[in-house]
Amino acid sequence: MYGTSTWNTAWLLVFILLSAASCRRQPPMQPPTPVTDTVAAVATPAPSARDTAGVSDFCLLTDTIPDILLDMRYYSDYNFVGTRIDGYEEPVAILTKKAASALRKVSDDLRPQGFRLKIYDAYRPQRAVAHFRRWGQDPNDTLMRADFYPGLAKQQIFSRGFVARKSGHSRGSTVDLTLVYAATGEEVDMGGPFDFFGERSHTFSEQITEQQRQNRLLLRNAMLRRGFKPVQGEWWHFTLHNEPFPDTYFDFPVSKRHF
């Protein structure tokens, strides 16, 4: 049996060991992560190449010809489809800088004669042409037939070439326009409306009066003088002869946000 002194020594040793363990250095407590109400910013996606390609070579027509008038039909619902056309985000007219510069000379030539230019359409993105084609696939959608193609079946608009799979407008140097009297803002009588699909739209149609023919020739000759070429079947349609992108069809939307 152990003696009393032996037990006292054992208990003393246990006490010393326990005291040493309790005095060991404890790791410092980490402060809690503060809670904040900051919301991470959502990154705005960069415009796609489809929406920006070629924009630097174009301009807003009103920046080049401040007094030009706009009646952008494909931004409105008064057109042969009957609704706003894809790609027309704002009622603005866009052309290549080269075509806009030539058109400014046309405007300068006609202004002293008492006329101003009014634009119906200029640059037209490829997505707009695709919209026309989709519309053409619905034989029951003839909402605007009475105004724009009363003498045609809907499919004849395409088979006769009034609307093509690709449009010269998408190259950026084609414009649809008319003349107005500067003093009144009234459109000059051209004998037929813009985008009328029929023989009456031919520049030299036999269905118009001599005065209407002279009005068409006034516009035609002014455009020819400054390097534009006409389309005989549409008195309002002209393309810059030496256009800068004869083989390129653009698709950025019609909007002033790029300019």
Q: What is the pLDDT along the chain (259 residues), one digit of tens a residue?
A: 444 444 444 444 444 444 444 444 444 444 433 333 333 333 334 455 555 667 999 999 999 999 999 999 999 999 999 999 999 999 999 999 999 999 999 999 999 999 999 999 999 999 999 999 999 999 999 999 999 999 999 999 999 989 988 999 999 999 999 999 999 999 999 999 999 999 999 999 999 999 999 999 999 999 999 999 999 999 999 999 999 999 999 999 999 998 9
Tell me if 94 is assigned to some domain: yes
What is the predicted pLDDT for the residue at 258? 86
What pLDDT is stored for residue 16 in this prediction? 45
Residue 134 lies in a domain: yes
The number of residues in the chain equals 259
Q: Is residue 91 part of a domain?
A: yes
Q: What is the pLDDT of residue 33?
A: 38
pLDDT given for residue 122 in this prediction:
98
Contacts of 236 (CB under 8 A, 6+ apart): 120, 176, 177, 178, 190, 194, 201
- pLDDT score, position 4: 46
Instruction: Flag whether the pTM goes above 0.95.
Output: no
Q: What is the pLDDT of residue 49?
A: 56
Q: Look at residue 254 and tell me if it is in a domain.
A: yes
Q: Rounded to whole angstroms, how far apart are CA atoms 115 and 180?
A: 6
Domain count, the chain: 1
pLDDT of residue 21: 45
Host domain of residue 94? 49-175+188-202+224-258
Q: What is the CATH number of the domain that holds 70?
A: 3.30.1380.10
Q: 130: closest CA among 88, 190, 99, 91?
A: 88
Q: 5 in a domain, yes or no?
A: no
Sheet containing 228-231: order of strands: 69-70, 115-121, 174-181, 234-240, 228-231
Cα–Cα distances (Å) from 22 to 9, 12, 25, 164, 223, in that order, read: 20, 16, 9, 91, 100
Q: Residue 37 has what pLDDT?
A: 33
Classify residue 209: in a domain, yes or no. no
Q: Which residues are catalytic?
A: 234
